Chains A and B, each alone.
Chain A
Amino acid sequence: GAVVSQHPSRVICKSGTSVKIECRSLDFQATTMFWYRQFPKQSLMLMATSNEGSKATYEQGVEKDKFLINHASLTLSTLTVTSAHPEDSSFYICSAIGYGTEAFFGQGTRLTVV
């Protein structure tokens, strides 16, 4: 199957700093990428949908200025958590869809804000 690489897998940052998470489709062009947040022992919560070259569409309740999403190319989307606070600590997962119906998921990023 297709591969989606998410980096970093773990990151610890100080409160008030910004953190960037990358999501790359390695062997296909991703027309659409999704960013999810997962709380412990819970399901995935969709944060936003991004299409290459256009602004991301955020789900209700997700702060656009807090979670900046850029999808500059067909193989790369980034999520930047700005001015991170301890409540932003979570597991973030990206997924990508090419021209089929199957979504491929990254390995996830464990963000801890101290």
Chain B
Amino acid sequence: AQSVTQLDSHVSVSEGTPVLLRCNYSSSYSPSLFWYVQHPNKGLQLLLKYTSAATLVKGINGFEAEFKKSETSFHLTKPSAHMSDAAEYFCVVSDRSSNDYKLSFGAGTTVTVRA
């Protein structure tokens, strides 16, 4: 079984300041982990993914995430927030031992960016 917990339902930051979105996961086997961003009435765009290579993963738009097995965490960070980062963010886990590639989604974190 696999599951994801996003610890913050809403994060508000000032433009130019760091962003931290927290995610903890649970997986019976070796997980693949993803962060997706969703703008209003749009589909999901992949920011970055971890699939057992380097534990520090760099993604698009300056985002990065670190896989910490001991803490079962995959927190998303960005050193300097931009107004365009305001969106909904989902942490997602996939159990790679399963052949059905089902994804488990976190509840989402809404990011607002203050000017």
List residues of chain A with CB under 8 Å of any chain B CB: 1, 4, 6, 32, 34, 41-44, 46, 49, 57, 91, 93, 95, 97, 101-108, 110
Contact = CB atoms under 8 A, between A and B. Distances in A.
Contact of B46 (A6, A44, A102): A102
Contact of B41 (A6, A49, A91, A103): A91
A108 B32 contact: no
B56 interface: no
A101 B32 contact: yes
Interface residues of B, number: 23
B108 A93 contact: no
Nearest to B110: A41
B107 interface: yes
A108 B90 CA distance: 16
B106 to A, nearest CB: 7
B42 A101 contact: no
Contacts, number: 55
A93 B44 contact: yes
Interface of B: 32, 34, 36, 41-46, 49, 51, 90, 94, 96, 100-103, 105-108, 110
B101 A97 contact: yes
B41 A43 contact: no
Given A32-B100, A101-B101, A103-B101, A43 B46 contact: no
Which of B34, B105, B106 has most chain A Cβ within 10 Å?
B105
A101 B51 contact: yes
Contact of A105 (B43, B101, B106, B107): B43
Contact of B43 (A42, A102, A108): A108
Contact of B103 (A34, A41, A107, A108): A34
